[in-house]
Amino acid sequence: MDPLSGAGPRRARGRLGAASPGARAAAAPWARFSAWLECVCVVTFDLELGQALELVYPSDFRLTDKEKSSICYLSFPDSHSGCLGDTQFSFRIRQCGRQKSPWHAEDWHYNSGAPVSLQNLLPAPVVLTSVHELDLFRCFQPVLTHVQTLWELMLLGEPLVVLAPSPAMSSEMVLALISCLQPLKFCCDYRPYFTIHDSEFKEFTTRTQAPPNVVLGVTNPFFIKTLQHWPHILRVGEPKMSGDLPKQVKLKKPSRLKTLDTKPGLYTTYSAHLHRDKALLKRLLKGLQKKRPWDTQTALLRRHLLELTQSFIIPLEHYMASLMPLQKSITPWKTPPQIRPFRQDDFLRSLEHAGPQLTCILKGDWLGLYRWVDGRRFFKSPHFDGWYRQRHKEMAQKLEALHLEAICEAQNIETWMKDKSEVEVVDLVLKLREKLVQAQGHQLPVKEAALQRAQLHIETVIGSLPKDLQAVLCPP
């Protein structure tokens, strides 16, 4: 479990990350593994007692009563359709204030090299039903004609309810939706499978405030009435496997929602900014008729969604890069210059000559996705906030690394020290040590040779100080 985590009906499985022999020897096996998997729960159903936790491993792992209740209720399907035999699905719950498992140095190194979709995951990734990549084409078959609309709703962080016949369909559709923004990190809340027993039920169903930025997967028709005030509801029916494209859900007004016998459809008043890609639909349909492998169909669809997201994000990346101070302005003995602020008006003006409408084959109102439209704005979404914070952090680290390299390459450190007070010299030592600690923890992209030169600078500076200060800075 992570702060929001889940498991299938029987067992939660995790994958152990690679670690150096020294790290493995320094940490207890489960302490190392707990960065990936907090615990394994086995839930059984008793006709007299109901759901109960049969096993929690490791045995000393402590779940709160609230967590136990959520896991027990969510581990068994609550569906209005018949569900016989084995089934697999995912869910997430809110963790109750437990301290997260600590990261190890190797975890930071692994995370920096992992795909964006696999980075929001340490410590303890959300538990999925399979370690294999989601079959996106199979999940999206009934909604292919509206894939652009759904992509836009995900991009803007809009609240969306997915009503499906079973927890398996519900959780797969939700996971498919949140994956369609790659390589942009999905920063909103999402619940692959949600029931009336969930501890956040009142929070999500209240009408006293706007619905939260969450994608909610449900199976109980009761939610049609309870969540009628939500702006977007996707109702999908039972899957029908054939050699042709399944009947596509239609766009419908929310007012046509009925508590009982609600037909499949995307109930929303939202109008897509981008045009439907008819060429893609023809290729996918042709692939079905020719019995093209499903993984190939998924690859086509995923590539299309990837190109959509990249077309949208590249102008943001270019503008963000322009806010970085020039390297020539970074000098060793001065505080490095600051990253310039992100000004939305300046960015929007830049789109006129560098926007996605000039490079992407798919036409439509691209600029409308960035601007304020019908009370929605990408800049107000959790996705922009998450993207901006991550990019700003990376740029700040790069700035610190360039400043450290400038100090390391400086040849005149003795000259700099001549007219400096002891306080200024000690301050330099402390700052250099702090930068070294960050670099050694893989938080600053600095070469090993530069780190060695920085250590020599520290020794030179300390050697110029009185003996009493040397003793303080270099205790035995």
Structural domains for the chain: 38-76 (no CATH), 136-293 (3.40.50.11500), 411-475 (no CATH)
How confident is residue 20, by pLDDT bands cut at 50, 70 and 90? Answer: very low
What is the model's pLDDT at position 17? 33
Handedness of CA 258, 263, 266, 271 (dihedral sign): negative
From 131-145, 154-168, 257-271, 288-302, the region with the lowest mean pLDDT: 257-271
d(CA 66, CA 1): 13
Number of H helices and E strands in the chain, helices first, is 18, 10
CA dist 291 to 55, 122, 246, 297, 389, Å?
A: 44, 39, 14, 10, 44
CA dist 276 to 138, 146, 158, 246, 296, Å?
A: 19, 7, 20, 18, 21
What is the model's pLDDT at position 454? 80
What is the model's pLDDT at position 154? 95
DSSP designation for 376: B
56-102 residue pLDDT tens: 988 888 888 888 888 888 888 766 555 667 788 888 888 776 555 55
CA-derived radius of gyration, the chain: 27
What is the model's pLDDT at position 372? 63
DSSP H or E segment with residue 345 = helix 344-354
Q: Nearest CA to 102 among 26, 40, 42, 41?
A: 26
130: pLDDT strictly greater than 60: no
How confident is residue 320, by pLDDT bands cut at 50, 70 and 90? Answer: very high
d(CA 376, CA 370): 9
- CA 401 from centre of chain: 26
d(CA 208, CA 166): 30
* Strands 265-268 and 214-218, bridge-based pairing: unpaired
Half-sphere exposure of 79 (CA within 13 A, CB side): 21
Q: How is 399-429 classified by DSSP, letter by letter?
A: HHHHHHHHHHH-S-HHHHHTT--HHHHHHHH
Q: Model-level pTM? A: 0.80
124: pLDDT strictly greater than 50: no
What is the model's pLDDT at position 132? 60
pLDDT higher at 414 or 111: 414
Is residue 252 within 8 A of residue 143, CB to CB? The reply is no
DSSP H or E segment with residue 314 = helix 294-322
d(CA 297, CA 291): 10
pLDDT higher at 302 or 289: 302
What is the model's pLDDT at position 448? 78
Phi-psi region of 273 (alpha: psi -120 to 50; beta: other; left: phi over 0): alpha
d(CA 199, CA 467): 62
State what percent of residues in the chain have pLDDT above 90.
22
What is the model's pLDDT at position 96? 72
How confident is residue 155, by pLDDT bands cut at 50, 70 and 90? Answer: very high
* Strands 214-218 and 189-191, bridge-based pairing: parallel
How confident is residue 26, by pLDDT bands cut at 50, 70 and 90? Answer: very low
From 178-182, 231-235, 363-367, the region with the lowest mean pLDDT: 363-367
Phi-psi region of 261 (alpha: psi -120 to 50; beta: other; left: phi over 0): left
- Residues in Cβ contact with 331 at an 8 Å cutoff, skipping those fewer than 6 apart: 406
Task: Looking at mean pLDDT, say which of 8-22, 262-276, 384-398, 418-432 comes out highest.
Answer: 384-398
Task: Looking at mean pLDDT, say which of 98-102, 209-213, 243-247 comes out highest.
Answer: 209-213
How confident is residue 388, by pLDDT bands cut at 50, 70 and 90? Answer: very high
d(CA 308, CA 182): 10
183-199 residue pLDDT tens: 898 999 999 999 888 88
DSSP H or E segment with residue 437 = helix 422-440
262: pLDDT strictly greater than 90: no
Three-state secondary-structure class, residue 60: coil
